[in-house]
Amino acid sequence: MKFILLVLFLMVSITVQVAGIELRSDDTVNIPEGTTIDDDLAAAGSNISIAGTVNGVVFAAGQSVNITGPVEGFVAAAGSSVMLQGQKGSVAAAGSTVNAPSLAARNAILAGNVIELGSEANIQRDVIAAGNNVTIQGQIGRNVKASGNTVVIDGNVGGDVFASAPNVRVLPGAVIQGDLIYESANEASIADGAQITGEVIRRRPPKPAVPPFVIGLFRAIFGFVMMLVLGLVLIALFPRWTRETTSRIVTAPGWSALWGVIALIVIPILALIIIFTIVGLPIGFILLLAYIIGLILAVVVAAIGLGKLIIPRQSIWLQLLVGLLIIYILGSIPILGYLVRLAVYVFGLGAIVLYLGRSRLQPAASE
């Protein structure tokens, strides 16, 4: 286990060293217009505003994240509210609300409750979007893959549209130069003015043999019991590691969020790159295994950290139980559950990386 965690840390630390990343962490992080950062940037705080130019990649996590300035490289953003405008390399964003009115990028991966890709957006290749209400406008060079409760297509799509939702709507101004393939229990609403060059193919979702509620309840109970057992084992066998790692969420929540976002996104990308080099195939699979183990441990770490915040004077055993109960109860609520699970992985994984990196990744003053 310690070897796997060490590998996890080394991956992130090597990435940071190679990229020469610049760290910004405060309640408010502001990169004003006219400012140029000739480096990669990682920012964490309640309110993040990046209006200047970044000649590298950007990792940003906060309650409100606004990235309106040009970014040469990849952008990874997570927050309650995420705003994306202007030229970017490629984008991956998650939040309760993800709004991209005039985003220009190579590819875009968007996840959240409300997702709006605006009429002035220009995505050269593909868009992948998952949320409750998804609206796709603007120019899309190739394909759109969208899922949610409602998916609205109102842009110019150069390839195919794949949609999975109870409500699929294609508005009058939409142009789909390929096929519209959708999975839904309902017929798609296709306006008279909409242009679809290819075929319209509907696939009916399969009817589960067991009601979804029963399946979801079983999964939740099974997952809760497994995480509780894992947490008890960690506390019994690695008490110092467990206490010190979980304390990072309480003492350094901003840094935990920052490194969690970096680890959550960078590690699988690095592992896949190594795998595709063929020579590094075994190493790549080891890194992916480390990543999966890190995500599992992150749930326990986040649960105990949450328990420390709610009942700081109680035993770590009770903190684990209370934290897991809250996570699994909130995680069962539609839409909110997605954000809860995202927060668990971000803070838990970030706390693990912080513990392994110690003073290298976090100034002593933030403790």
Q: Tally DSSP H helices, then E strands, for the chain.
A: 7, 22
**Is 48 in contact with 71 (CB distance < 8 Å)?**
no
- Say how far apart CA 242 and CA 234 lie, in whole Å: 7
Tens digit of pLDDT per residue, the chain (367 long)?
444 444 444 444 444 444 456 778 777 889 999 999 998 887 877 789 999 999 988 888 777 899 999 999 888 887 788 999 999 999 988 888 999 999 999 999 998 889 999 999 999 999 999 989 999 999 999 999 999 999 999 999 999 999 999 999 999 999 999 999 999 989 999 999 999 999 999 998 877 666 666 777 777 788 888 899 999 999 999 999 999 899 988 888 888 888 888 888 878 877 777 766 655 667 777 888 888 898 999 999 999 999 999 998 888 999 999 999 998 888 877 777 888 888 999 999 999 988 887 645 555 444 3
CA dihedral 310, 316, 318, 319 (to 10 degrees): 30
- Say how far apart CA 155 and CA 189 lie, in whole Å: 15
**Is 259 in contact with 249 (CB distance < 8 Å)?**
no
How far from 51 is each of 85, 188, 320, CA to CA, in Å? Answer: 9, 39, 41
DSSP state of 204: P
Place of tokens 């809760």: 224
At 128 the pLDDT is 93
At 164 the pLDDT is 94
User: Which residues does residue 64 pair with via DSSP β-bridges, in sequence order?
Assistant: 47, 81
136 token code pair: 């796709």
Residues across the chain: 367
Q: For the purposes of burial, counting CB atoms within 10 Å of the CB of 173, is it exposed (0-12), middle (13-18) or buried (19 or more)?
A: middle
- The domain spans of the chain are 107-207, 212-366
Which are the contacts of 358, defined by CB distance < 8 A and separation ≥ 6? none
Pairing of strands 122-123, 108-117: unpaired
274 token code pair: 């190594």
Report field, pTM of the whole predicted structure over 0.85: no
At 223 the pLDDT is 84
**Is 361 in contact with 259 (CB distance < 8 Å)?**
yes
